[in-house]
Amino acid sequence: MATQIRDNKLLKGIAAVLKDLREAKDVSQEEVYNDTNIHVGRIETAKANPTVSTISALCKYFGLSVSSFYKKVEEHL
């Protein structure tokens, strides 16, 4: 069984960007869950290590490309 790599600094960057996007859209974590079926609370606290598919779904929800999302994440690193 392969071990999962965990980059805490990157996860904290992802958490910060998702929280910023959610607050800019003025939606609660519960509203994001109701709209996407994704628990963003665990991602926003950097406790979860989201898959690429999860990040892609959240990017679609927030209306930005995956590359734009990761560019914002890099600014937090």
Mention every residue, 6+ apart, whose C-beta is less than 8 A from residue 67.
none
Q: Measuring CA to CA, which residue among 18, 39, 21 is closest to residue 30? A: 39
For residue range 10-55, list pLDDT tens digits in order. Answer: 999 999 999 999 999 999 999 999 999 999 999 999 999 999 999 9
Q: Which fold has domain 8-76?
A: 434 Repressor (Amino-terminal Domain) (1.10.260)
Question: What ranges do the domains of the chain cover?
Answer: 8-76
Contact between 17 and 72 (Cβ < 8 Å): yes
For residue range 1-22, list pLDDT tens digits in order. Answer: 667 788 999 999 999 999 999 9
- Give the global pTM: 0.91
Mention every residue, 6+ apart, whose C-beta is less than 8 A from residue 44.
15, 18, 19, 22, 29
